[in-house]
Amino acid sequence: MSGNTKKKAVMLGLGLDNEDGHKRVTRGDNFVISGGSEETHEHMTETAIKVNEKLSAKGRRLEEISGKEFVDIIQEVSNR
């Protein structure tokens, strides 16, 4: 990586249970949620927002954490 290149990370949620024909896409600071039923899309969006809130509270950014830390945060915000 050159000195001017910054690491970036994005959460991508892809819902496959859409049967109503609506095309749902939600974009946030570091996430994109696409597809899914209304319920699934909403759940994925809420999860991404909670991950961002948790990272912000820790003073961290998505690209700064390890895969294990990401999984731990996902499990934590999903168990509420």
Count of the separate structural domains present in the chain? 1
Host domain of residue 71: 11-78
Q: How far apart are CA 22 and CA 64, in angstroms?
A: 35
Question: Which pLDDT does position 2 carry in this prediction?
Answer: 57
| Tens digits of residue pLDDT in 14-70 | 999 999 999 999 999 999 999 999 999 999 999 999 999 999 999 999 999 999 999
Q: Is residue 40 part of a domain?
A: yes
Q: Is residue 3 part of a domain?
A: no
On whether the CB atoms of residues 78 and 70 are closer than 8 A, the answer is no
| Tens digits of residue pLDDT in 40-53 | 999 999 999 999 99
